[in-house]
Chain A
Amino acid sequence: DAMVIQNPRYQVTQFGKPVTLSCSQTLNHNVMYWYQQKSSQAPKLLFHYYDKDFNNEADTPDNFQSRRPNTSFCFLDIRSPGLGDAAMYLCATSRGGQGSHEQYFGPGTRLTVT
């Protein structure tokens, strides 16, 4: 089945220690998104790629970076995690363009900062 895969599912890092979360997709979608979701809140968009074009949200901290080396993979780098960055990180994809705009989400990575 075509899907969005996130690794790892659970990640523990220390305060200030860089961490990378990964996302891959077999849907061959043009757009890949990274969201941050905290308890009992809606997902908050951090940034997205339309093909190779990077689109950052205005309120995304500089501490958060992303890379998309090819169509299938996208990475979220947190350069110096703080305690406030503990959250669920969700990757999503959509076809983009004039096609359907449904976003399909991966299972998420739960990040703990100690």
Chain B
Amino acid sequence: EDQVTQSPEALRLQEGESSSLNCSYTVSGLRGLFWYRQDPGKGPEFLFTLYSAGEEKEKERLKATLTKKESFLHITAPKPEDSATYLCAVISKAAGNKLTFGGGTRVLVKP
């Protein structure tokens, strides 16, 4: 059974204070790892897909990296508008079209 664990559960940052979110996964044959951002009361917004170890993707202040066991979402010099819950999900070869989500990391960036 695919498993995804995100840490920490919550993260409070000062504006400009860079940090990283962790997503550890156990899957049988990774097809893809996904990062989403979710604002309160809204649907998840797709950020990145990573397919293989060593791959990196960047978007504005966010950078996602992938190893064989975990992924990191680095937030560089965050702004208050980066406050959100960040969800990690995986899809495995055995899972067909189904994502397995982690529990999410709630990020609060204070000005």
Interface: B49 (CB within 8 A): yes
**In the complex, per-residue mask of B18-41: 1 if CB is within 8 Å of any chain A CB, else 0:** 000000000000011010100001
State whether A110 touches B101 (Cβ < 8 A).
Answer: no
Number of A positions contacting B (CB below 8 A) = 27
State whether A50 touches B49 (Cβ < 8 A).
Answer: no
Nearest residue (CB) in B for A95 is B97
Nearest residue (CB) in B for A9 is B41
Q: Report A-chain residues with C-beta under 8 Å of the C-beta of B97.
A: 31, 33, 48, 50, 94, 96, 101
Q: Report A-chain residues with C-beta under 8 Å of the C-beta of B36.
A: 105
Looking at the assembled complex, report how far the CB atom of A52 sits from the nearest CB atom of chain B, in whole angstroms: 14
Query: Given contacts A103-B46, A103-B99, A108-B42, could you give 14 more A-B pairs where the C-beta distance is less than 8 Å?
Result: A4-B43, A31-B97, A41-B103, A43-B101, A45-B98, A50-B97, A90-B43, A100-B32, A101-B32, A101-B97, A102-B32, A102-B34, A102-B49, A108-B41
